[in-house]
Amino acid sequence: MNTVATESIGVQVDGVSKRYAHRVKGEIYAARDVVLDVRPGEFLTLLGPSGCGKTTTLRMIAGYEMPDAGRIRFGGQDVTGLPANQRNIGFVFQNYALFPHLSIFENVAYGLRVRALPNDEVARRVGEVLSLVGLAGYEQQFSGQLSGGEQQRVALARAIVIRPRVLLFDEPLSNLDAKLRVQMRQEIRDLQRRLAITAVYVTHDQEEAMAVSDRIAVMNQGSVVQEGTAEDLYHRPASEFVAQFVGRVNLIRGRVMAIAAETTTIAALGTEIVAGPVRKDLTTGDQVLLAVRPEAIEIARDGGVPGSLRATVVSRTFLGEKIEYLLRCGGETLQAVRYNAGPGEVLPEGVTVSLRIAKSAVTVLPETAASVTSARRP
């Protein structure tokens, strides 16, 4: 398969900002000093809630928006001033943006015709790429006759047929139903690997981000707040925002009691919790939040496992392969999960249990003004 022959290049986003005039709020930053370094062939995802600036950043990489500050480089070449039609990108839109008046063949051929390729080469490459996405035989149909998943594939084919230097995706799966979403994200990932194209992908779905990406950049309020692999973000969130946005988490209020080389002792849940080493800016007496994933809390019937924490089961939800518990412990409500619980191992509501939280499962985060209110939620 020689659909994409060009070698992969890296994408550098260097201190890029974009301002908007807002009718009510005045001037606001849609993106603020965004720095990204996408390595050649890497699949990077911009993850964040609505309005965090991820789409604006992607559109600036594409050339649909011009940054107010900063530079964008493709493989070392500065493309900041180039419009989208000179950047050689493949862009997949959220709504697919298939041309309704053109057949599937002509939709896919569009970029090749713009490049004035001979007809036989256009036909060959369109044919190749359509069979690559499993749509051979659809050439003469129109987008209105296709299902959502098929339209998605056409959009993908149209983007890759021009052998773009970079593939850009703007929430490409959000219009599909849940099952198809899972299937398509796998296909997108396989295709990107096979073609070895550098890809930047935008989504607000953290599970989708984890499933497709080599690396994820979490964005909030116009800035990249943390970058790393899915494991990094999940196990070592740098802020309360990332801890809450990526996966589910218990945020437990506490106060630093003692800092040693390998351990930190924190007063929380009416007792003392031991965590690993903490950030250097924290000192004894600081108010902190402990981020603990629900599955990291070990539960047993009272006395069943060694654990100093006592809790009461408030409610439980049976979900097949796992059971979720809400626990009352030291004035806080905790979420906990138990997997593969056999029929006899269900803990009834109201029963007292003992808990254990491993040292490595506790992430200590500084308490911010915003977290004071949010941490009080049950």
Partner 1 sequence: MAGSSEGVLTTASPARIRKDPAVTAAALALWLLLGLFVVYPLAMLIVRMLTDNGTFTTTGIVAVLTDRHQIRAFWNSLLLALSVGVVGTALGFLFAFAAARGRLPRALLTAIDVSVLLPLVSPPFTTAIAMIFSFGPRGLITYNLLGLKGVTVYGMTSTLFSEALTYFPIAYLTLRPILAAIDSNIEGMAFSLGASRWRVFRTVTLPLAIPGLANAFLLLFAASLADFATPLILAGNQFPVLPTQAYLQITGLFDLRGGAALSFVLLVPSLIVFLLQRYWVSRRFYVTITGKGAGQAPFDSISPAIRVVLLAACLGVALVIVYFYALLFYASLVMALGANHAFTFQHYRVIFTDGAKAIGDTLIIAGFAMPLGGLYGVLLGYLVTKKSFAGRRTMELVSMINYALPGTIVGIAYLIAFNDPPIELTGTALIIIACYIFRYGPTGIRATVALLQQIDKSLEEASQGLGAGSGTTFKRITLPLILPAFFAGLGVVFIRSMTAISATIFLISIGWTLITVKILENITELSLGPAAAFSVLVVVIVFVVIAVIGRVLRLFRAPGAVPMTSLLGG
Token digits of residue 236: 């070592």
Question: Which is closer to partner 1, CB of 86 or CB of 308?
Answer: 86
DSSP helix/strand/coil, 144: helix
Question: Which is closer to partner 1, CB of 25 or CB of 280?
Answer: 25
How far lies 97's CA from each of 25, 60, 136, in Å? 31, 18, 20
Question: Which is closer to partner 1, CB of 111 or CB of 254?
Answer: 111
- For helices 104-114 and 119-132, angle between their N-to-C axes, nearest 10 degrees: 130
**Region label for 292, one of left (φ > 0), alpha (ψ between -120 and 50) or beta (otherwise):** beta
Count other C-beta atoms under 10 Å from residue 4's C-beta. Answer: 21
Count other C-beta atoms under 10 Å from residue 338's C-beta. Answer: 19
Of 37-45, 81-89, 277-285, 335-343, the segment contacting partner 1 by CB under 8 A is: 81-89
Minimum distance from CB of 17 to partner 1 (Å)?
Answer: 10
Count other C-beta atoms under 10 Å from residue 207's C-beta. Answer: 14
Question: Which is closer to partner 1, CB of 108 or CB of 323?
Answer: 108
**How far apart (Å, rounded) are the C-alpha atoms in residues 372 and 7?**
50
Question: Which is closer to partner 1, CB of 70 or CB of 247?
Answer: 70
DSSP annotation of 53: S
Q: Is residue 173 exposed (0-12), middle (13-18) or buried (19+ Cβ within 10 Å)?
A: buried
Is 74 among the residues that bind partner 1 (CB under 8 A)?
Answer: no
Is 75 in contact with 122 (CB distance < 8 Å)? no
Minimum distance from CB of 266 to partner 1 (Å)?
Answer: 37
**How far apart (Å, rounded) are the C-alpha atoms in residues 29 and 270?**
42
Query: Residue 297's closest CA among 266, 257, 251, 334?
Result: 334
Minimum distance from CB of 186 to partner 1 (Å)?
Answer: 22
Site string for partner 1, 142-171 (x = CB under 8 A): x-x-------------xx--x-------xx
Is 22 among the residues that bind partner 1 (CB under 8 A)?
Answer: yes
Of 110-118, 241-249, 254-262, 339-347, the segment contacting partner 1 by CB under 8 A is: 110-118
Of 106-114, 206-214, 275-283, 356-364, the segment contacting partner 1 by CB under 8 A is: 106-114
Minimum distance from CB of 47 to partner 1 (Å)?
Answer: 11
Is 118 among the residues that bind partner 1 (CB under 8 A)?
Answer: no
Which amino acid is located at 326 in the chain? L
Is 70 among the residues that bind partner 1 (CB under 8 A)?
Answer: no
Q: Is residue 341 exposed (0-12), middle (13-18) or buried (19+ Cβ within 10 Å)?
A: middle
Is 364 in contact with 274 (CB distance < 8 Å)? no
**How far apart (Å, rounded) are the C-alpha atoms in residues 251 and 292?**
7
Is 138 among the residues that bind partner 1 (CB under 8 A)?
Answer: no
Minimum distance from CB of 232 to partner 1 (Å)?
Answer: 24
Is 29 among the residues that bind partner 1 (CB under 8 A)?
Answer: no
Is 208 among the residues that bind partner 1 (CB under 8 A)?
Answer: no
Question: Which is closer to partner 1, CB of 114 or CB of 258?
Answer: 114
Q: What element of type H or E holds 31?
A: strand 26-38
Is 136 among the residues that bind partner 1 (CB under 8 A)?
Answer: no
Is 32 among the residues that bind partner 1 (CB under 8 A)?
Answer: no
Question: Which is closer to partner 1, CB of 125 or CB of 253?
Answer: 125
Is 55 among the residues that bind partner 1 (CB under 8 A)?
Answer: yes
Binding site for partner 1 (CB under 8 A): 18-23, 27-28, 30, 50-56, 62-68, 83-86, 88-91, 93-95, 97, 99-101, 110-111, 114-115, 142, 144, 158-159, 162, 170-171, 174, 202, 204
